[in-house]
Structure 1
Amino acid sequence: MDPEVGDSLSPDEIAEIESHAEAYFEDVLALAACSVDDMRRGLRDLDDRWGPEFLTPPEHPVEWTLRPLVDWARCILHLELYRHSSDLTHLETAVAQSYLAVLGLGDREDGVLLRDLHHGWIYAARGNALLDRYDRGGPPGHLDEAVYRFEQAVELAGAEESQFGAWLAHAHYLRWCDGDGTPADLDAAIDGMADALRAAGPDGVHRGMRANNLGSFHLTRFEDFGRREDIKAALEHTAEAVRYSEGYPDSCAYLLKHAHAMHRAHDAGHGESAGAVSEAFRRAVSAAGRFASPQGPAGAEQWLDWAARRGEWAEAAEAGQAGIAIVETLLDRQLHDGYKEVWLGELTGLFGDAAHALARAGRPEEAVVAAERGRAVILSDRFPDTQIGLEEVVDFAGVRRAAVDAPLVYLIAAHTGGLALIVTADGAPRAVELPDLTWDRLHAEFETFGRRVHAERGNGAVRRIGIDAFAGWLGRAVMGPLLAQLPGVAEIVALPFGLLALAPLHAAWWPVGDARRYAVQELAIGYAPSARTLLSARRRACEITGRAVLAIAEPQPVSARPLPAAVPEADMVLSQLPGRVLTGPEATIDAVLAGWATAQVLHFACHGEADTARPMDSALLLAGDERLSLDRLLDAGLPEVRLVTLSACQTNVGGTRLPDEANSLAAGLAIAAAGGVLGSLWRVDDAAAAELMARFYVAWHVDGQPPVRALRVAQLALLEGEPATWRHPYFWAGFSLVGG
């Protein structure tokens, strides 16, 4: 409010404003403690009264003064709805409304007639919204502003509202945990939360939350500095929190924290029995399942790890399956695809860990189902069409149907150890332990590989060293031990988890005397995102018998380097198959999508770009630098085709942020539209790629080999032929076949 307006108010008008503000403040706080349905009704009432017509200041000073409180009310109600439902749409709305509330206050000298306590609650609401968003992957600036807003709230309210001090203590704690603080932040967090706990009184409504937070802070200090008194305090305060939260949604987080404290106390030799710790985890994860708590998957992971380290694999399997059930419930509640990525990113390999635990517990069929469900959860979210018939395949009989033509091999780098699950058309699945294939070791090896192959693009020698080293490790850790269990097998379909989806398994090698033996020399290796998508791809391969080709060769103009072998490569394809070519300026997005409708084979000889952070934005580069992204391709509702060849750079490179990510251009097309997709894992050599493609099409179209075996024929021709420089896997191993 303008100071002149405030100065013009009569004492009665000022009293009316203060009365309305106080009543409104109390009503909203009461509403925030009500049921979800009541909170939603309250939001509708706010929207009815404070719609778009109130974007400009009302004439009545009471309404204008109340406007920041209305925005504050929307903020805290959406924040509470987020905490009840785990729907991040509510959290984003709360952040936006908190901004408007603080903006409405403006400078505190502007005459807005709200009590200091009301100002404090508005600043604190802003801090809480920012903290929750920061906790769900928001930028670091959110934490810094949250600390500042809580400090404002504490300064304004003093001892009148101890909750502000509790929130400030929590912000200090986060600053320490995220590496931006000092030990003084952790000490301030513990002291501040202890003060807030004392202020709550023996039966205070906030006592459970504050006790849990104080226990967490002591536990962190114990883990960081080893003080014995801290682990005792952590057990005491987390147990108190559990007592105060019985039967409420918050109890999930408190039970999990108490179980974790018991776990740490046991490991440190402070008296907690292993059985008591296990039962605490079981109780906590069970509560998380009942309330669909977002802390549930992480708690299940902690429990699984605790059981696995003790060799209690049946218990670890129980933990993993409980965590999977919670994940599936949580994902159903995330309404926005971007928000689902947040939850998916927090799984950190839960499905793989569960599969490994089930296999170690002697339940290989259930391990296969857990692995396939992990693939299905991510793929059915990313590609909704894959939900059709999903229930048919998420059982062992459904997976086995996909193994009719060749054995399926799930490859998993779990936190608890590596695992291959071999599924054939008959008989029980076999589990092969791969002890060197751990989550941590795979990420370390892949980091070096990725840095050499993808980051240092201008240095071919560095790329070759990176491929050679990574393929050698794959031979020792994965393919060597696996193929020793598959004597006489001519073909497999690999279903790799996580970063293994970006690995050239067919290029894995091991020494044989003074020479090398590559996996591709032993058998043909196809790839699939899941058993369900493999079945769909094979159906298309059987039903689509035509071979009419649409070739796209060196679109121009583009900002990327020329591809002199692209047009001859397209001419070679057209010498084998009927069809036409789009080249130069005619190779636009519209022309490609129009031509797709009459083709059964698509061949792209152009540049491609992999976006590992946002794989749906990975794209083919067409005329005028138009980007034909995976997202655009899937939205176009393309007709099904027999084969798509992506003779372009990095078209089979997916994301690295999500666990078990399979969103490369090649995988996306195999899931949605193609019987098989030939894609590249790195920037391929133009001449070698053209030669490989020529041999592939002859083996497939002329000799009648299935695509995966035709690709093997072409790769062996380069590996075992001339020129000798092409025998390095950089030249022949960049391509892999997804689908059938």
Structure 2
Amino acid sequence: MRILAQYAYKQYETRSDLNALGVSIRCYRIAMGATEDDHPEKVDIINDLGVVLHTRFECAGERQNLEEAIFLRQLANALTPDDSPDKASRLSNLAVSIFSRFQREGRAEDLEEAIGLWTHAIELVPDSHVHKHGLLNNLGSSHQTRFEQLGKLEDLENLESAIALHARAVDLTPDGHPDKPLRLNCSGNSHTIRFERLGDLEDIGRAIKLLTHAAELTPDGRPNKPGRLNNLANSLVRRYERTRDLKDLEKAIAHQSRAVGLTPDGHPSKPTLLNNLGNMLHTKFKQSGSLDDLDQAITHHINAVSLAPEGHFGKPTRLHNLGHSLLKRFNEAGNVPDLEEAIRCSTCSVELLPKNHADRASMLRLLGLLFDTRLRSSHAQADDATRAMDAFLEAMQHQNSHPLVRLRACVQYTILLSEFPHLFNATPPRLTLLDGYKYALGLVPRCIWLGNNVRGRYASEELPVIGVMVNSAVTAAISAGQYCLALEWLETGRAVVWSQILQLKTPLDDLRRLHPQLADGLYRVSQALQHAASSPSNLLPSSPGAHKAQPSLEGQAQSSHIYALEYEKLITRIRELGGFKDFLLPKTLSQLAGACASGPVIVLNIHNARCDALVLSQPDHITHIPLPEFSRTHAVKLHKDLWSILAARNLRGRFRDSEWYDDDNRGQDMPGNGVRNDPMFRVLGDLWNFVVKPILDVVTTLPTVTSTTGLLHITWCPTGPLAFLPLHAAGIYRAGRSVETIMDFAISSYTPTLEALLKPHVQTSSTGDYPRGLVVSQPATPGQNRIPQTTTEAGIVVSLTGLSTDTLHDSDGTVDAVLDGMETHNWVHLACHGLQDKADPINSSFALYDGKLTLSTLMSKHLPNADLAVLSACQTATGDAKLSEEAVHLAAGMLNVGFKSVIGTMWSISDRSGPIVMAKFYEVLMEQVRAGAELQPAYALHEAMKALRAELGVNKFMEWIPFIHFGL
């Protein structure tokens, strides 16, 4: 009878014949009943019946079959001694069934038991054992699931363990082994999951490579082929969502369609494959806008839901995806039954999903969006606002879910509360509007995680979401009259990645004096994380052989994650100590008050609802200046106009005189040549009329710190589109002259954050000794346009600054030489090409003789004795329009490396402008040095810009405006 049972099971495996599976179960039951307890085959029959019952559960999803399989497998294990050659496989079989129960019911104890069983099984067999790689693979999958289902960032070690175990399983499985595709598949999946959590493109590239190999090794007739194609398609979609390369999406849909076609209708995997194909077509709809793609997606989702048995653990996800697609179709076509059915599906998905499941926040957020959508329609129901609010609140507070999903739920919560406050008068929400924003800001460090490399942090989808959210939070605080809170929030949410980098460089003197071991541990981990930030995993391959370092890159990625977890644990321990409860927490206004020591700091918040200036002019006072005639829409328009002007002039690199300006074109209507209808007139005029002048009218009446020059020194901290507009040149201009401009009243500086202004002021010598300076000139950088005037410029700087200045001219100006020079000189002057990389901002660089000095390299430096950096290069303060709050440019990089004062450029500069500006700049600066006065680089640049305007004409805007000052 046992032989007949085995034959029937084989029929099921080859034909997916459920009737044969039923026959196998009946035969095994008869065999078990007919076999004496002391018969040597009794344990084998018990074990085999457990196997086929588990298979029946996988097909039908019936809990009874799973419970009986677990009971039989527990019995088989109890009857099998530890020294039996079958012990390890039976431990693994029991682990598989208990793991399945965890997937169905979400009980943490089941997952822990499964992990313990697989760990025990691995301990019983040597590496040479035929099943060792399979056991490692299963244990890796269980660790991966523990991270997925229960994990927070603190549990990332589980995913790292999974990746390491899967990699070891792949290595132990010989080529040609029938399980090699399975091992490759599992290893690829673990990399996909880490990419979903941390966003490193290295991971998804590795995943696609492994999964492609797994699919290629699996013949079309094998039952695992559809699953392998499904996983490959999923990884391609994930990369498409990041890179927007349509080839990835098209390949994904092709692979997934093939997987569906290879799977018979009664197969238990069919619902999953249909569900995923529906998701991919939904994604395609978002790109194509074709309702046909969306209709097909919904059809596949409906089939996936209908084919899934009741109680199947995948049912909640399929209902959620159907609800999502129905909501999208309602938004497109306005079909009310779609919205009602979406609410029903989403409600059911939330009810079926275990409370601690990692996807719960995502499902709750969709449910909230559905009630919110109905609230805004003509079919609103009385409790829609409350139900939406409750769903968003539970989603944002769900600790096991992805922090970005929680952050987005926070945003929806605050939007609902701000737009419909009257609906909650009778029953106030559990969190007020400001409380909601406070909760959201607390999630920011979790969204932009220190364990990711810097490139991954800047490229993540989280940063733009955070930028919008912070501006909304500040707007709410201003509307409530909470100006101090608004300023603190703006500081917390701006330049997030820079703040993380600077945090790693924080002096630990107080901590080391009281707790030397903790200080040493934190210093060690911080150094490791700083190294990871500028490691090769942050750099694009520079040669065909660069990809050979892939194994070390994988090790670096895992190490940085582990170091980040250790760093967070150390910070938590330190904050538990007496006197250190605020250690490395965002600064309060009282801690930021010193930012206004040299003059008022004006923080500009730009939002759709309102635009405002917050002026910090005294340590304990903030002045609020509303800007009612200005709007975010207006700011965006001015930004677009400016970039149109720059594009028309092709201002992307430093130019020679002949390239920059053609005397034969003086009378033509070209941007920047001084004719009356120059669009720059309107850009600068609007900035003056609607932003700068209203602020100056108030600021000039405040008690402020003025310089010895008699002009007010203002430091601008703009947000949104204003971060890319020349506030320092705002004014009313006519052909050939300026009528009323900011330069008549104030000297302007810029800062990415208030904290950047808390450094000691730039020092001068009381004895009249010149500072130690380094001048770098690159008149003929290989691969770049020649800029011969940099030699003239360097000569001017050396002659004015004296014998204490060293030079690196032409071929001497290598990357290593310049970096070494920054370590030993407190003034640095770079006359070279500057390159802003739009596709990869941290790859922006100074072009030096033997290569590029990139922003990512600068991030690893810390120069506490540096004073002044003059970047006489193009686009050193251009930044990335998608990351307006992050100041991802070379000038900010130099500021955060340690320089107190930085001269940069907003766009390309002409070769002739540099010498004129620098001659006047250093002339004024050295007068301050000789007088032993406090150095004022902002005033020196102000005078240099006036000199350039006098030389070229005030309406040569594109030549004199780009020079700006950052810092002190």
Name the structure 2 match of 1:104.
217
Name the structure 2 match of 1:61.
none
Name the structure 2 match of 1:317.
434
**Which one of 171, 180, 185 corresponds to residue 293 of structure 2?**
185
Kindly indicate whether residue 827 of structure 2 is the aligned counterpart of residue 601 of structure 1.
yes
Name the structure 2 match of 1:35.
146
Name the structure 2 match of 1:577.
801
Offset, 1:367 = 0.9
For 2:771 and 2:160, the matched residues in 1 are separated by 57
For 2:585 and 2:179, the matched residues in 1 are separated by 56
Offset, 1:256 = 0.8
Offset, 1:261 = 1.3
Identity of aligned residues (%): 20
Name the structure 1 match of 2:962.
734
For 1:605 and 1:633, the matched residues in 2 are separated by 17
Kindly indicate whether residue 196 of structure 2 is the aligned counterpart of residue 196 of structure 1.
no
Kindly indicate whether residue 597 of structure 2 is the aligned counterpart of residue 491 of structure 1.
no
Is the contact made by 1:521 and 1:716 (CA closer than 8 Å) also made in structure 2?
no
Offset, 1:478 = 2.4
Name the structure 1 match of 2:787.
563
Offset, 1:82 = 6.0
Offset, 1:543 = 9.4
**Which one of 329, 347, 350 corresponds to residue 469 of structure 2?**
350
Offset, 1:431 = 2.9
For 1:700 and 1:563, the matched residues in 2 are separated by 25
Offset, 1:659 = 4.2
Offset, 1:300 = 2.6
For 1:469 and 1:146, the matched residues in 2 are separated by 48
Name the structure 2 match of 1:60.
none
Moved more, 455-464 or 697-706: 455-464
Kindly indicate whether residue 942 of structure 2 is the aligned counterpart of residue 712 of structure 1.
yes
C-alpha change, 1:392 and 1:401, in structure 2 (3 Å) is farther
Q: What RMSD, in angstroms, separates the aligned Cα atoms of the two structures?
A: 3.6
Name the structure 1 match of 2:179.
66
Report the AA paired with residue 669 of structure 1. M
Question: 1:214 aligns to what SS in structure 2?
Answer: helix
Name the structure 2 match of 1:448.
641
Name the structure 2 match of 1:259.
368
Name the structure 1 match of 2:900.
675
Name the structure 2 match of 1:147.
253
Name the structure 1 match of 2:444.
327
Question: 1:150 aligns to what SS in structure 2?
Answer: helix
Name the structure 2 match of 1:549.
773
For 2:833 and 2:235, the matched residues in 1 are separated by 43
C-alpha change, 1:616 and 1:600, in structure 2 (3 Å) is same
Is the contact made by 2:403 and 2:446 (CA closer than 8 Å) also made in structure 1?
no
**Within 5 Å, which residues of 2 pair with 1:454-473?**
454=647, 456-457=649-650, 461-463=670-672, 465=678, 467-473=680-686
Name the structure 2 match of 1:686.
911
C-alpha change, 1:163 and 1:590, in structure 2 (3 Å) is closer
**Which one of 291, 306, 314 corresponds to residue 206 of structure 1?**
314
Offset, 1:27 = 4.0
Offset, 1:225 = 1.4
Unpaired stretches in structure 2, ≥5 consecutive residues = 1-6, 15-47, 56-88, 101-137, 148-154, 425-430, 509-582, 651-658, 662-669, 705-711
Offset, 1:329 = 1.4
Structure with greater Cα Rg: 2
Is the contact made by 2:323 and 2:342 (CA closer than 8 Å) also made in structure 1?
yes
Report the AA paired with residue 713 of structure 2. E
Report the AA paired with residue 528 of structure 1. T
Question: 1:485 aligns to what SS in structure 2?
Answer: helix
Report the AA paired with residue 688 of structure 2. G
Name the structure 1 match of 2:262.
156
Is the contact made by 1:610 and 1:650 (CA closer than 8 Å) also made in structure 2?
yes
Is the contact made by 1:454 and 1:682 (CA closer than 8 Å) also made in structure 2?
no
Is the contact made by 2:901 and 2:966 (CA closer than 8 Å) also made in structure 1?
yes
**Which one of 375, 378, 385 corresponds to residue 494 of structure 2?**
375
Name the structure 2 match of 1:507.
729
Offset, 1:450 = 1.8
Name the structure 2 match of 1:8.
none
Name the structure 2 match of 1:75.
188
For 1:220 and 1:734, the matched residues in 2 are separated by 45
Is the contact made by 2:879 and 2:888 (CA closer than 8 Å) also made in structure 1?
yes
**CA-to-partner distance for each residue in 1:567-603, whole Å, 9 max, x for gaps?**
3332222232122433333333344334444432222
Question: 2:874 aligns to what SS in structure 1?
Answer: coil
C-alpha change, 1:733 and 1:190, in structure 2 (3 Å) is same
Name the structure 2 match of 1:5.
none
Offset, 1:726 = 4.0
**Which one of 736, 749, 752 corresponds to residue 529 of structure 1?**
752
Report the AA paired with residue 205 of structure 1. F
- TM-score of the aligned structures, taking structure 2 as reference length: 0.67
Unpaired stretches in structure 1, ≥5 consecutive residues = 1-10, 58-63
**Within 5 Å, which residues of 2 pair with 1:278-297?**
279-280=389-390, 282-288=392-398, 291-297=401-407
Report the AA paired with residue 826 of structure 2. Q
**Which one of 654, 659, 677 corresponds to residue 879 of structure 2?**
654
Offset, 1:678 = 0.6
For 2:799 and 2:167, the matched residues in 1 are separated by 66
Question: 2:341 aligns to what SS in structure 1?
Answer: helix
For 1:410 and 1:86, the matched residues in 2 are separated by 32
Offset, 1:333 = 6.4
The size of the alignment, in residue pairs, is 710
Offset, 1:85 = 7.6
Question: 1:126 aligns to what SS in structure 2?
Answer: helix
For 2:421 and 2:632, the matched residues in 1 are separated by 18
For 1:70 and 1:206, the matched residues in 2 are separated by 23
C-alpha change, 1:551 and 1:249, in structure 2 (3 Å) is same
Question: 1:157 aligns to what SS in structure 2?
Answer: coil
**CA-to-partner distance for each residue in 1:87-128, whole Å, 9 max, x for gaps?**
8776555434322211222x537xxxx32xx21111111122
Question: 1:410 aligns to what SS in structure 2?
Answer: strand
**Which one of 211, 229, 234 corresponds to residue 123 of structure 1?**
229
Is the contact made by 2:372 and 2:385 (CA closer than 8 Å) also made in structure 1?
no
